[in-house]
Amino acid sequence: MSKDRYENPLVARYASKEMSYIWSPQKKFSTWRKLWLALAKAEQELDLPISDEQLKAMEGNLENIDFDLAAKYERDLRHDVMAHVHAWGDQIPVAKPIIHLGATSCYVGDNTDLIQIRESLDLVEKKVVKLINVLAKQAKNYKDLATLGFTHFQPAQLTTVGKRCTLWLQDFLIDLEDLRHRIDTLPFRGVKGTTGTQASFLELFEGDHDKVKTLNLRVAELMDFEKVIPVSGQTYTRKIDYLVLSQLSAIAQSTAKMAVDIRLLSNLQEIEEPFESKQIGSSAMPYKRNPMRSERICSIARYVMSLADNGAHTHANQWFERTLDDSANRRLSLPEAFLGVDVVLTLATNVIEGMAVWPHVINKRVMTYLPFMATENIIMACVKAGGDRQDLHEAVRIHSVAAAKVMKEGGENDLLERIANDEIFAAVKDKLDTLTNPADYIGRSSQQVDEFIDEVVLAEVGDVEDVEMDDIIN
C-alpha cells in the first residue's frame, strides 16, 4: 500500500478483513460480472440467441479482473460500467456482444450494492449475536455482585453488576430484532431498465410481457434473492439505504452507550477494559490505564451515527426517476457505516469478554453509601421495638447531615457509628451489621438477570455456545 496517499483508517487500522473484502473493488466488480452472467443465463433460458460457449467464457472469467485495463477505458469513456464492459469483453471476445444486453448501469450498480449490503448485514448479525452471548455470560457471572447505582451520575440505590449488564444487553436485543427484519425484507432491484419501465427488455422479447416478468424473477433467483422490489425508477428507492444506515446507527448508539458507562466505571476503578501487559496508557504518565478501546468505540460510533443523516438527505433529494448526486455520497456512506459498525462490535465484544471487575473497590463504594440507604430499615426496626418514628427520623436526619459533612471534608462515612452511639437507637445497636447487608438492598436484581436471560435472550438468540470468537472477530 502506498504511503504517499491517504489511507482510510477504517480499513488500514480497524475493520475486519471480512467486512473490508465485502466492500473491496474485487468483490464489487466480480459481482458485476456475476450479475451479467445471471442476466445472460436467464435471457438464454427465455430463447434469446446466447450460446453455451458465451456463458462458459463468462463463467470462467469472473474473478480475473484487469483493473489497469478497466481504468484505461474509464479515462477515455468517463463511464465506469462501460469501462468494465469493454475490459471484460477484451478478455472474452466470444461473449462481448451479449454482455450487459438490455441492461442499464444500475442493473449492476444497484444490485451489487444490495448484495454487498445483505452480506454485510449478515456479518453484522453474527457479531451482534456474539456480543449478546458474551454480555449474557458476564451478566450471569456478576448477577449477585451488589454495586452502587447512579441516576444523574449521583449515588442512588443499589443494583448489581450483572443487572447493569442486562441494560446494555437489552439494547442489543432490540437491535438484533430490527436487524433481522431488515435482512428478511431487503429486496433485489432486479431487471428494470433505464427508468424502471423494463422497456428495453420488452423490446428484446418482442412485446412478451410474461417473459420480461420471468426474466426479472429468474435473475433474482440466480442471485439468491427471494424478494424483488416491486417498482423502481432507474434506481431502487434510496429509502432502503436510509433504513439500513439507521439500523447501523442504532447499533452504534448501543455500543457507545455501553462504552461510555465503562469509561465512567473505569474512572471509578470498579470495572476496566482489558489492558495488555506491555500496553502504554500515556506517553507522559506511565501509571495511566486509559480506556482506549471504549473511547475508540465512542469515537467511531459517533461517526457511524452521523451517516444516517446522509441517507436521509440522499433519499429526499432524488429527482423523479433518478439523479446522480447520490453516487459519490453512497460510495462513502454505505461502506464506511458498515466498516465502522464492524469495528465497534469487534471492540465491544473484546472489552466485555475481557473486562476486569474489582469487587473490593465496588464493595467499598457500596459500604460508603449504604448506611444512608439503610436508615429506613433502621428506623422501622426501632419502631418495632417501641420507638417513636418521628423522633427517630429527626435523629437520623441530624446524624446523616453531619456524616455527609465529614465525607465532604475528606473523612469516612461515620453515620453507623453515630447511630450506634445514640441511645435512641439502642434497640438496634447490636443489629446494625445485619441491617447493612448489601444483598438486602438489591431488590430482584439477581432474579431479573436470570429471568431476562432465560426467557428473553435465549428465546431470541438460542444457544450460541458453538460460535467461536475466531469465526467472527479477526
How confident is the model over 56-105, as pLDDT tens digits?
Answer: 999 999 999 999 999 999 999 999 999 999 999 999 999 999 999 999 99
Task: Please check whether residue 304 is in contact with residue 345, taking contact to mean a CB–CB distance below 8 angstroms.
Answer: no
Q: Which residue has the higher pLDDT, 89 or 13?
A: 89
Cell of 90: 477484451
Would you place residue 464 in the very low, low, confident or very high pLDDT band (cuts 50, 70, 90)?
very low
pLDDT at 290: 85
Q: Which residue has the higher pLDDT, 460 or 19?
A: 19
Residues 6+ apart with CB under 8 A from 188: 111, 114, 220, 223, 225, 227, 228, 229
Say how many C-beta atoms besides its own lie within 10 A of residue 110's C-beta.
Answer: 25
Which whole number is the average pLDDT over 120-124?
Answer: 98
Which whole number is the average pLDDT over 364-373?
Answer: 92
Kindly tell me if the per-residue pLDDT of 278 is higher than 90.
Answer: no
How confident is the model over 73-85, as pLDDT tens digits?
Answer: 999 999 999 999 9
- Measured distance CA(147)–CA(124) in Å, rounded: 32
How confident is the model over 385-414, as pLDDT tens digits?
Answer: 999 999 999 999 999 999 999 999 999 999
Residues 6+ apart with CB under 8 A from 54: 40, 92, 94, 95, 98
Domains plus CATH for the chain?
A: 361-441 (1.10.40.30)
Cα end-to-end distance, the chain, whole Å: 20
Kindly tell me if the per-residue pLDDT of 200 is higher than 80.
Answer: yes
Would you place residue 433 in the very low, low, confident or very high pLDDT band (cuts 50, 70, 90)?
confident
pLDDT at 462: 73
Sign of CA dihedral 309, 311, 315, 317: positive
Kindly tell me if the per-residue pLDDT of 463 is higher than 70.
Answer: no
Cell of 115: 448484495
Would you place residue 274 in the very low, low, confident or very high pLDDT band (cuts 50, 70, 90)?
confident
Kindly tell me if the per-residue pLDDT of 474 is higher than 50.
Answer: no
pLDDT at 121: 98
Rg (C-alpha) for the chain, rounded Å, is 31
pLDDT at 227: 96
Which whole number is the average pLDDT over 316-331?
Answer: 94
pTM above 0.95, yes or no: no
Which whole number is the average pLDDT over 359-371?
Answer: 95
Angle made by CA atoms 220, 225, 228, in degrees to the nearest 5: 65
pLDDT at 277: 55
Which whole number is the average pLDDT over 456-462?
Answer: 88
- Measured distance CA(262)–CA(17) in Å, rounded: 27
Mean pLDDT computed over every residue of the chain: 93
Task: Please check whether residue 160 is in contact with residue 446, taking contact to mean a CB–CB distance below 8 angstroms.
Answer: yes
Q: Rounded to 5 degrees, what are φ and ψ at 146?
A: -65, 140
- Measured distance CA(439)–CA(436) in Å, rounded: 9
How confident is the model over 126-185, as pLDDT tens digits?
Answer: 999 999 999 999 999 999 999 999 999 999 999 999 999 999 999 999 999 999 999 999
| Single-letter amino acid code for the residue at 445 | S
- Measured distance CA(442)–CA(149) in Å, rounded: 10
- Measured distance CA(112)–CA(120) in Å, rounded: 12
**Which residues are known catalytic residues?**
152, 282
- Measured distance CA(406)–CA(429) in Å, rounded: 22
Smallest Cα–Cα separation from 328: which of 80, 75, 145?
A: 80
Smallest Cα–Cα separation from 60: which of 81, 90, 33, 39?
A: 33
Smallest Cα–Cα separation from 95: which of 53, 64, 41?
A: 53
Residues 6+ apart with CB under 8 A from 162: 138, 139, 140, 141, 142, 143, 144, 145, 445, 446, 449
Smallest Cα–Cα separation from 88: which of 68, 104, 65, 71?
A: 65
Kindly tell me if the per-residue pLDDT of 207 is higher than 70.
Answer: yes
Task: Count the helices and strands in the chain (H runs, E runs).
Answer: 20, 4
Which whole number is the average pLDDT over 326-336?
Answer: 96
- Measured distance CA(237)–CA(322) in Å, rounded: 9
